[in-house]
């Protein structure tokens, strides 16, 4: 079974803090993704990575950056957290980038910025 | 840009009955995949069913089936013999060559 794990289920940070969200997958997947999930908006793609050290912007990259130094690990970074970044963050991975490849999701990190 | 619309924020079904969740999408592409994902309360999102756009035959996975109408850009999910464990948020998703777009979700309640 594919396992995608995220470092925290719940996180509370203060405005202006630098926040790191970590994601690890154990199935040697090439592609990894970061989404944020908000009520009424579904999932929106922040960034994705198709290889180590490679990244591409998704639909809402502003205020975020990512890092992928190792194939199994994909980090989302909030350089200076703001209250409008309070959300559920989901990490996902897929074997390859083709359309038919299923994405496997982590359990999510619920981030609150106060 | 592709958009995915789920017009039913909430749905309710009696246990053992059948329910249909709606999804429409907008695209100018011809080659894509469509997915339904299930997110149970406080649990990981999992794939329910997928449909390849070039296949006319509707996908089926046990009690889950889709009604794919390519010309109408419609992709509904039918759940037969609903069970309590089917209660979840359901997301419709469209995937093209680069990445995936999701609908806003439908919260399904199953009444015993």
Predicted pLDDT of residue B91: 97
pLDDT in tens, chain B (112 residues): 668 999 999 999 999 999 999 999 998 888 889 999 999 998 899 999 999 988 889 999 999 999 999 999 999 999 999 999 999 999 999 988 767 899 999 999 999 9
Say whether B4 and A106 touch across the interface (CB within 8 A).
Answer: no
Predicted pLDDT of residue B17: 98
Tens of pLDDT, residues A49-79: 988 988 999 999 999 999 999 999 999 999 9
The closest alpha carbon to A19, from A105, A93, A112, A92, belongs to: A112
Provide, as residue numbers in chain A, all residues whose Cβ is less than 8 Å from the Cβ of B98: 97
Say whether B44 and A106 touch across the interface (CB within 8 A).
Answer: yes
Residue of B nearest to A94 (CA): B99
Is a pLDDT exceeding 90 seen at residue A1?
no
Cα distance from A33 to chain B (closest Cα, Å)? 9
Cα distance from A11 to chain B (closest Cα, Å)? 15
Tens of pLDDT, residues A86-112: 999 999 998 876 666 788 999 999 999
Residue of B nearest to A92 (CA): B45
Q: Is the separation of the CB atoms in A20 and A108 below 8 Å?
A: no
Q: Is the separation of the CB atoms in A69 and A51 below 8 Å?
A: no
Say whether B46 and A108 touch across the interface (CB within 8 A).
Answer: no
Say whether A99 and B96 touch across the interface (CB within 8 A).
Answer: yes
Provide, as residue numbers in chain A, all residues whose Cβ is less than 8 Å from the Cβ of B97: 97-99
Provide, as residue numbers in chain B, all residues whose Cβ is less than 8 Å from the Cβ of A98: 97
Place of tokens 């997110």: B39
Predicted pLDDT of residue A97: 65
Provide, as residue numbers in chain B, all residues whose Cβ is less than 8 Å from the Cβ of A43: 91, 93, 102
The number of angstroms, rounded, from the C-alpha of A13 to the middle of its chain's C-alpha atoms is 17
Cα–Cα distance for residue pair A95/A10, rounded to 1 Å = 27
Predicted pLDDT of residue B88: 97
Predicted pLDDT of residue A53: 86
Torsion of CA A62, A54, A17, A46, to 10 degrees: 40
């Amino acid at each position: 079974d594919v396992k995608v794990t995220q470092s925290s289920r719940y996180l509370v940070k203060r405005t202006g803090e630098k926040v790191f969200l970590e994601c690890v997958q154990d199935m040697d997947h090439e592609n990894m993704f970061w989404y944020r999930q908000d009520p009424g908006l579904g999932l929106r793609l922040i960034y994705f990575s198709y290889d180590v050290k490679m990244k591409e912007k998704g639909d809402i990259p502003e205020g975020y950056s990512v890092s992928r130094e190792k194939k199994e690990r994909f980090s989302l970074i909030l350089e200076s957290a703001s209250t409008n970044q309070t959300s559920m963050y989901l990490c996902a991975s897929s074997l390859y980038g083709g359309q038919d490849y299923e994405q496997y999701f982590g359990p999510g990190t619920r981030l609150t910025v106060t | 840009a592709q958009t995915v619309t789920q017009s039913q924020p909430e749905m309710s079904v009696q246990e053992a009955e059948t329910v249909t969740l709606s999804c429409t999408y907008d695209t100018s592409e011809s080659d894509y995949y469509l997915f339904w994902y299930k997110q149970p309360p406080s649990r990981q999102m999992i794939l329910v069913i997928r449909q390849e756009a070039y296949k006319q035959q509707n996908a089926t996975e046990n009690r889950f089936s889709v009604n794919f109408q390519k010309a109408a850009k419609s992709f509904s999910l039918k759940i037969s013999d609903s069970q309590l464990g089917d209660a979840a948020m359901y997301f419709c998703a469209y995937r093209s060559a680069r990445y995936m777009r999701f609908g806003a979700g439908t919260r399904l309640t199953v009444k015993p």
